């Protein structure tokens, strides 16, 4: 009889030394998942939040060191106000409910994006969560909120221009490493794997610099359906890829953080 796979630990056919150290995710399809079930769209976001929680725990259990998720883009403000309000309240509720567990499980949380337009109470909670978990090392959890990739690059360019203008660095010091140092994901390595659910095949302004060499995995599953078995399949696919970075020989295995 075939034994079902036990996903609580890394499935045996995945090579721990060839796992991505950093996985990025565009969580798409919450609304469609809910609509298909005759539920309001926000029920999809609630279910999607459960999926993120389990994926984060899965990364921790399987030895993946960093997870970056796109929770709210700069374009998401264009959604109906009731949905935006629901999402912001959901972030707040989740943070209040999960912070102690994240702290206990060694999760370091960081919010990437311009937090200033968010309600002050939520901003304060986010700052508190970042400060409280800043020395945790088991898994790094980045949540992109009011994030836009082009905006990130504009801000990085301004930052460097200021450094040059005030003489802190010379124009000759401006190279890829200098730019990477002023991005929101610094000092994490770039994600080796991006997952986008719901059949869409776009980057939607998510980490345009950091995803330049990333393997892109698209699945038709809707985000609330993306469980450990689906993550396992994505990792199997990833391990079947040869990362060459434009050269001929396969690249060495990913460096740990
Ligand atoms: C995309 O589905 C999903 C979002 C814009 C929100 C993602 C937010 C969560 C999963 C909630 C909690 C997350 C964290 C990390 C606190 P969609 O609404 O675009 O779905 P559709 O394309 O089917 O309309």
Domain harbouring 157, CATH code: 3.40.1180.10
Our answer to whether residue 13 is catalytic in this structure is no
Residue 246 lies in a domain: no
Residue 70 Cα, ligand 1 centroid: separation in angstroms? 8
Q: What is the arithmetic mean of pLDDT over 156-168?
A: 97
Residue 169 lies in a domain: yes
Residue to substitute in 37, 50, 53, 71 for testing ligand 1 pocket (most ligand atoms within 8 angstroms of CB): 71
Judged against a pLDDT cut of 50, whether residue 62 lies above it is answered with yes
Residue 196 lies in a domain: yes
**pLDDT level of residue 234 (50, 70, 90 thresholds):** very high
Residue 73 Cα, ligand 1 centroid: separation in angstroms? 10
**pLDDT level of residue 6 (50, 70, 90 thresholds):** confident
Residue 11 lies in a domain: no
Percent of the chain with pLDDT over 70: 93
- pTM for this structure? 0.93
Our answer to whether residue 54 is catalytic in this structure is no
45 touches ligand 1 (CB under 6 Å): yes
Closest residue by CA, ligand 1 atom 6: 71
Judged against a pLDDT cut of 60, whether residue 252 lies above it is answered with no
113 touches ligand 1 (CB under 6 Å): no
Matching residue, tokens 């060839």? 18
207: left (phi over 0), alpha (psi -120 to 50) or beta: left
**Arithmetic mean of pLDDT over the chain:** 94
Residue 247 lies in a domain: no
pLDDT for residue 256: 46
Q: What is the arithmetic mean of pLDDT over 84-90?
A: 98
CB burial of residue 246 (10 Å; 0-12, 13-18, 19+): exposed
Residue 94 Cα, ligand 1 centroid: separation in angstroms? 14
Range of the domain at 95: 19-239
pLDDT for residue 247: 73
Q: What is the arithmetic mean of pLDDT over 139-152?
A: 98
- Total number of domains constituting the chain: 1
Q: What is the arithmetic mean of pLDDT over 11-32?
A: 97
Residue 6 lies in a domain: no
pLDDT for residue 61: 96
Q: What is the arithmetic mean of pLDDT over 185-214?
A: 98
Q: What is the arithmetic mean of pLDDT over 207-232?
A: 98
Residue 257 lies in a domain: no
48 touches ligand 1 (CB under 6 Å): yes
Instruction: Out of 76, 114, 136, 190, pick the active-site residue.
Output: 76
Judged against a pLDDT cut of 60, whether residue 255 lies above it is answered with no
């Amino acid at each position: 009889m075939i034994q079902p796979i036990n996903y609580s630990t890394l499935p045996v056919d995945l090579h721990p030394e060839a796992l991505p150290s950093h996985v990025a995710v565009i969580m798409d399809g919450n609304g469609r998942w809910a609509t298909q079930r005759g539920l309001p769209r926000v029920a999809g976001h609630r279910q999607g939040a459960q999926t993120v929680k389990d994926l984060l725990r899965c990364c921790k259990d399987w030895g993946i060191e960093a997870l970056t998720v796109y929770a709210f883009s700069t374009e998401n403000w264009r959604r109906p106000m009731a949905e935006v309000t629901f999402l912001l309240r959901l972030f707040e509720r989740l943070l209040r409910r999960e912070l102690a567990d994240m702290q206990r499980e060694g999760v370091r949380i960081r919010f990437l994006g311009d937090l200033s337009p968010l309600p002050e109470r939520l901003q304060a909670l986010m700052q508190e969560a970042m400060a409280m978990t800043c020395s945790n090392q088991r898994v790094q959890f980045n949540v992109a909120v009011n994030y836009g990739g082009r905006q990130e690059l504009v801000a990085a360019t301004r930052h460097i221009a200021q450094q040059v203008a005030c003489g802190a660095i010379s124009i000759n010091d401006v190279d890829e490493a200098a730019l990477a140092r002023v991005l929101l994901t610094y000092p994490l390595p770039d994600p080796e794997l991006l997952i986008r659910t719901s059949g869409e095949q776009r980057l939607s302004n998510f980490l345009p610099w950091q995803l330049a060499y990333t393997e892109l995995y698209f699945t038709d599953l809707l985000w609330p359906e993306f469980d450990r078995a689906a993550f396992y399949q994505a990792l199997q696919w990833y391990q079947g890829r040869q990362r060459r970075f434009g050269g001929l020989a396969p690249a060495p295995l990913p460096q740990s953080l």
